[in-house]
Amino acid sequence: MDPTRSTAVTLLAEMNSGAISAEEVTRAYLDRIDRLEGRIKAFLHRDADASLEKAREIDALRRAGGPVGELAGVPIAIKDLLCTRGVPTTCASKMLATFRPPYDATVIERINAAGAISIGKTNMDEFAMGSSTENSAFGPSKNPWDEERIPGGSSGGSAAAVAADFAPISLGSDTGGSIRQPAALCGIVGLKPTYERVSRYGLIAFASSLDQIGPFSHDLADTALLLKIIAGKDPRDATSVDTPVPDYPKTLDTPPESLRIGLVREFFGDGLDPEVDAAIREAVRVYEAAGATVREVSLPHSKYGAPAYYLVAPAECSSNLARYDGTIFGHRAENFDPISPAEAELPVLIRMMMASRAEGFGPEVKRRIMLGTFALSAGYADQYYNQALKVRRLIRNDFDTAFKDVDILVGPTTPTAAFKFGEKTADPLAMYLSDIYTITTNLAGIPGLSIPCGLTKSGLPIGLQLMAPAFAEEKLLRTARVFEKATDWHTKRPGLV
């Protein structure tokens, strides 16, 4: 048995039976990372000794017959915007290059309590702003299916780590598609839960009304298990809801009573690659063969999703990132001498802040801060930001209307398979449209899931997106499981050796 080719659920069964130890599992993943990480660059920080020490503790607890958690001994990769006590948490930014949080995020507390073993902090687009991981201050991650192509973003490192078999599961965050898009491009499962389902305490914020933490995995059994562990009310997060958390693994293999599926008309227009289109329609035929009724539905305001998102998200980014000015924490410029007569008139403190932010933030973060600051500025807030909020409400209304007639909405996760590095960096709008099918679920606050559903002729993964009403993750997972059990796309792995 090669542990690195297994799922978390399989590894747990093997460890609980005594067939393999947590230390052996962890060493197998660490050895694979040592061999291949130089090519994939999925991680920003690793501590092999700490990972092995935790594995030995789990093994000792098992031998003693003590209670162990639901993830005891399972390696997990963590996106580098989740605060981890004493461990570098950089958001892939020079601004936080030396930041070591004094506390754990709630999701980190929960996976630690469950006995998971952190295998490392993963690369990402700086402050989660991007769709390709090319915006990382420390260099991009590579797609394990084709190292000349992007793994997606912003959670590209977390997706690449699972696809490359560096960990069976990982955590990412999704603000406009940052879990589902890289999951689709890397051929794995990625879930964005309902906003409020998972605590955001300890998540370094990009856009507070949109951000949500969720799992990556190879199959839905692992997704269901990890979601069960991280979901639930947290008194430290005022936006988390005290709604019961279903036992997702227990019900996963029970097909829904009805399979009423809506095919989103607006997701099949210009810009959709024909190979992606064909794979999605074939996936729909799989559902029809399983007894589903499929009808076309309309989300008429989805065409305004990208414009609304790129007003709401940058506005919140502008506010959230205002704290990083070099005065309390974050990068501080060493030289802030004036370079013009106008700057010489400014107070020293202001010049220091300006220089620190100029050095600490990358181009994409600066672009979004400026967009957001403009959208919130006096005289423009009503014209831009408040209008975007109204459109957001209309988008949520579209989903509510659609879910009166169908249980689950489906469509492509991304318009194309993974593109090559540099292909879209010169055109921010083209890059932004990589998330055109995922943005609206964040604006509406509903859950979205991407599962593998095919490969292009050149061997690149294609993702099927499923969307459900708020807090209907159980139905979403069960519906997706129908497709997963009827196909073998989730078993495909890149030929990375």
Active site residue 356: no
Active site residue 54: no
Phi and psi torsions of 293, nearest 5°: -95, 130
Instruction: Spot the catalytic one: 21, 158, 178, 356.
Output: 178
- Vertex 8 angle, CA 7 and 10, to 5°: 65
Taking a C-beta distance cutoff of 8 angstroms, is the pair 83, 17 a contact? no
Active site residue 79: yes
Spatial strand order in the sheet of 408-412 = 43-45, 117-122, 75-79, 169-174, 212-217, 189-192, 448-455, 461-467, 408-412, 260-264, 293-297
How far apart are alpha carbons 438 and 190 in whole angstroms? Answer: 12
Can you tell me which residue has the tokens 């100029």? Answer: 358
Taking a C-beta distance cutoff of 8 angstroms, is the pair 100, 89 a contact? yes
Which residue type sits at 211?
Answer: D
Terminal-to-terminal C-alpha distance of the chain: 16
How far apart are alpha carbons 25 and 4 in whole angstroms? Answer: 8
Q: How far from the centroid of its chain's Cα atoms is residue 51's Cα?
A: 23
Can you tell me which residue has the tokens 């754990």? Answer: 104
Instruction: Spot the catalytic one: 41, 54, 79, 121.
Output: 79
Instruction: Spot the catalytic one: 136, 154, 240, 450.
Output: 154
Q: What is the DSSP letter of 71?
A: T
Taking a C-beta distance cutoff of 8 angstroms, is the pair 470, 194 a contact? yes
How far apart are alpha carbons 168 and 7 in whole angstroms? Answer: 6
Burial class (CB in 10 A: 0-12, 13-18, 19+), 153: buried
The DSSP secondary structure of 355-390, one letter per residue, reads HHHHHHS-HHHHHHHHHHHHHHSTTTTTTTHHHHHH
How far apart are alpha carbons 184 and 412 in whole angstroms? Answer: 9
Please report how the helices 106-113 and 220-230 are oriented relative to each other, as an axis angle in degrees rounded to 10: 110
Half-sphere exposure of 151 (CA within 13 A, CB side): 35
Neighbours of 116 (CB within 10 A): 27
Which sequence positions are flagged as catalytic? 79, 154, 178
